[in-house]
């Protein structure tokens, strides 16, 4: 998608979510042609002329300052992820003008040897490393066991969004599949703002839009979200239901990659099942080593 179109559609969808009352303006009634705020109302709350805001919503981002972004974000009540997304879209539209990029382009998608060794040494919790496109870059042994359905049959690199929308098993694996679909699209939409010239990301979005009506609908909503912490509820085909807390961390040594660590409350059913999965994985690895030794 052209960045100018992305700016226009993002601002339009955010405006449609608000009412005059929500931004502190009187509602004089009358028929509104579109849901939500009018452009003139956004401009008033943002402290700019209506004509200036109209140009911005058409995708004309030339000369847009940090102050303007802050004003529009305040008027549209954008959260941190949405504010960052608007910043990224405007930066891309200005093609590296006065706004500084938030993140450098990813040049490599491989872990440093030291980090690979660290991840492999973690044995009690699942670890999963992904890039901004949600490709699986690395896991530890327990992480691979946890996401075996996504990883085992996929043509590398396995991709969480492709699994979510194109593999029927995802609907039984993710116990809150509907919510997960919205989250994963919102994460991809944020990445598209950060990396508008990522050809692989564009190809992925095109593939999913063509093959999944649901993805195409959610993509058109222009929702964005960060994937930092929360609870992921899954149904593992071997050990059953798991309620896993996750923490995602950007890797300073491997730009563009994030490491997600999953854990469970000690003494909980999930904790016991996770230990069982770890034991099963350890046994499988040991048996495979024995078989290779006999070969």
User: What would the DSSP string read from start to end of 10-71?
Assistant: HHHHHHTT--TGGGT--------SSSS--HHHHHHHHTS-HHHHHHHHTT--TT--HHHHHH
State which H helix or E strand residue 259 sits in. Answer: strand 257-263
Backbone angles phi, psi at 49, to 5 degrees: -70, 150
Residues 150/167, Cβ–Cβ less than 8 Å: yes
Which CATH superfamily hosts domain 3-93? lambda repressor-like DNA-binding domains (1.10.260.40)
Domain ranges, ordered by start, for the chain:
3-93, 113-294
Q: What are the angstrom distances between the C-alpha of 51 and each of 18, 40, 47?
A: 20, 8, 12
Say how many Å lie between the first and final Cα of the chain, rounded.
53
**Cα–Cα distance measured from residue 257 to residue 260, given in angstroms and rounded to the nearest whole number:** 10
**DSSP code, position 97:** S
Residues 258/130, Cβ–Cβ less than 8 Å: yes
**Cα–Cα distance measured from residue 192 to residue 206, given in angstroms and rounded to the nearest whole number:** 12
- 125 DSSP β-pair partners: none
Encode the chain (295 residues) as per-residue pLDDT tens digits.
578 899 999 999 999 999 999 999 887 666 677 778 999 999 999 999 999 999 999 999 888 999 999 999 999 999 999 999 999 999 988 864 444 444 444 444 678 888 889 999 998 999 999 999 999 999 999 999 999 999 987 788 999 999 999 999 999 999 999 999 999 999 999 999 999 889 999 999 999 999 999 999 999 999 999 888 999 999 999 999 999 999 999 987 667 899 999 999 999 999 999 999 999 998 887 777 677 766 5
- Residues with Cβ < 8 Å from 1, sequence gap 6 or more? 192
pTM of the model: 0.87
Q: What is the CATH number of domain 113-294?
A: 3.30.450.180
Question: H helices within 94-238, ranges in order?
Answer: 113-121, 141-146, 148-152, 160-166, 170-173, 177-194, 199-211, 213-219
**Cα–Cα distance measured from residue 69 to residue 213, given in angstroms and rounded to the nearest whole number:** 33
């Amino acid at each position: 998608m052209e960045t100018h179109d992305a700016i226009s559609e993002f601002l339009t969808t955010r405006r449609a979510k608000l009412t005059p009352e929500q931004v502190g303006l009187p509602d004089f009634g009358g028929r509104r042609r579109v849901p939500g705020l009018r452009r003139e109302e956004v401009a008033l709350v943002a402290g700019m002329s209506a004509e200036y805001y109209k140009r911005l919503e058409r995708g004309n981002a030339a000369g847009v300052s940090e102050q303007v972004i802050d004003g529009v974000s305040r008027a549209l009540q954008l959260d941190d992820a949405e504010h960052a997304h608007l910043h990224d879209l405007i930066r891309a539209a200005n093609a590296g003008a006065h706004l500084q990029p938030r993140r450098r382009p990813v040049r490599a998608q491989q872990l440093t040897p030291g980090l690979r060794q660290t991840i492999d040494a973690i044995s009690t919790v699942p670890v999963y490393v992904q890039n901004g496109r949600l490709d699986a870059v690395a896991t530890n042994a327990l992480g691979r066991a946890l996401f075996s359905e996504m990883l085992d049959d996929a043509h590398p690199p396995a991709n969480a969004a492709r699994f979510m929308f194109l593999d029927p098993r995802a609907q039984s694996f993710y116990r809150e599949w509907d919510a997960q679909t919205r989250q994963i699209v919102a994460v991809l939409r944020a990445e598209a703002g950060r990396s508008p010239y990522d050809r692989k990301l564009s190809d992925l979005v095109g593939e999913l839009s063509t093959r999944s009506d649901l993805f195409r609908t959610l993509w058109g909503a222009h929702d964005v979200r960060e994937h930092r912490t929360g609870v992921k509820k899954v149904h593992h085909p071997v050990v059953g239901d798991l309620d896993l807390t996750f923490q995602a961390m950007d890797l300073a040594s491997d730009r563009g990659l994030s490491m997600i660590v999953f854990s469970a409350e000690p003494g909980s059913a999930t904790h016991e099942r996770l230990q069982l999965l770890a034991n099963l994985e350890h046994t499988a690895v040991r048996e495979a080593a024995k078989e290779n030794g006999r070969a």
